[in-house]
Homo-oligomer: A and B are copies of this chain.
Amino acid sequence: MKRKATINDVAKAAGVSKGLVSFAFNDRPGVSPDTRDRILTVARELDYRPSLSARSLSTRTSYAFGLVIARDPEILGADPFFPSFIAGVERVLLQEGRALVLSVVADEQHEATVYRTLTADARVDGVFITDLRHDDSRIPLLRELGMPAVTLGRPEGSHAGDPDAFPAVSLDDTPGIVAAAQHLIDLGHRRIAHVIGPRRMLHATRRNAAFAATLEAAGLPADLVIETDFTAAQGASATETLLDLAEPPTAVVYGNDPMAIAGIGVAHERGLRLPDDLSITGFDDSELARYVYPALTSVRTDPLAWGEAAAHALLRLTTTGVAADIDLEPARVITRASTGPVRA
């Protein structure tokens, strides 16, 4: 196994100083076209690749981005968002010679430790902030640490184009929820429940606000709201609670597909017929949604595109120092057999 060629080998072979090789490799002015060609040719012949760690030491740059996920692995396992999001991120980073450092932690206590460690070790040049929360502690923390970041969605209290805020890459999910609710209203439903994710998560309350506004615009009360932790278990028990009501809903909107599928399970367990006795919608449009019985009406987002956009934004932010906010195609509802007209 031959030793890897270094910049010194290239410099020697090309008969120039190593500084000049560095210049040539970084497209900096002050290298004559002839010399540049010669250097690059020699480098190719020697199969030279600049050493990442040497570069990191010299430039204080790690050429990697971080993603810290604070979720229980059980929930993550059923969640189609992250794999697709990561695949999208990866697609961009691979080409740019960047790597993705992933951390999965159970609670938000460890989360802060991980961010501090990533920063202290200069392990990453920037991070993605997913699952924004109310009064999100990560924002001031990363500010304090001086770690660049991109948020998925806009944090509370930050207005579009705020120059002090981290760049936000947003995919508006409210049109999807509004469409789902309106779809149910159009089918004649008058009592529609909403089983949402944890309230401390921004998207849970934002979606619920959109849901409530849609119902109220139709003159309906939006009082049947149950908060869960996004697990199928809590989706199931929320459904039990709803169906046990004196006046149970005729339709339930769930915050994710696993909860909706668990809701279908509970309804079937009770001998209800879907969608005749109960209409159900999910969120995320996971692959499974199409194949459960009845096929699940769900709200589709595009996590892959989200990942790509976020990666581009973070790349721009860390290289140029600024990055504009990005708005992606909003979520939309995919109608399937789990929703139908309310029984006469």
Q: Tell me, yes or no, whether A322 is within 8 Å of chain B by CB.
A: no
Chain A interface mostly? helix
Whether the Cβ atoms of B51 and A290 lie closer than 8 Å is no
A287–B101 contact, CB under 8 A?
no
Whether A104 pairs with B90 at a CB distance below 8 angstroms is yes
Q: How far does the alpha carbon of A334 sit from the alpha carbon of B24 in the complex, in Å?
A: 62
Across the A-B interface, the 7 shortest Cβ-Cβ residue pairs: A77-B80, A262-B291, A76-B83, A268-B293, A53-B56, A73-B87, A265-B293
Whether B288 contacts A146 by the Cβ 8 Å rule is no
Chain B contacts for A276, CB-based, 8 A:
none
Tell yes or no: A344 within 8 A of B by CB.
no
Q: Across the interface, do A287 and B74 meet the contact criterion of CB distance under 8 Å?
A: yes
Name the interface residues of A73-100: CB closer than 8 Å to any CB of B.
Answer: 73-84, 86-87, 90, 94, 97, 99-100
Query: Cβ of A79: which chain B residues have Cβ within 8 Å of it?
Result: 77
Asked, given contacts A77-B287, A258-B287, whether A123 binds B99 with beta carbons under 8 Å apart, the answer is: yes
- Judge whether A52 and B123 touch: CB under 8 Å: yes
User: In the assembly, what is the distance between CA of A196 and CA of B334, in Å?
Assistant: 30
User: How far is A142 from B212 in the complex, measured between Cα atoms in Å?
Assistant: 55
Chain A residues within 8 Å of B, Cβ to Cβ: 1, 4, 49, 51-54, 56-57, 60, 62, 64, 73-84, 86-87, 90, 94, 97, 99-106, 110, 114, 117-118, 120-123, 146, 231-233, 235-236, 258, 261-262, 264-269, 286-288, 290-293, 295, 304
B122 touches A288 (CB 8 A): no
> Known contacts A57-B57, A104-B90: does B52 contact A121 (CB below 8 Å)?
yes
B291 touches A233 (CB 8 A): yes
Partner of A287, one of B60, B122, B233, B266: B233
**Other-chain residue from B53, B83, B235 in contact with A53 (beta carbon distance below 8 A):** B53
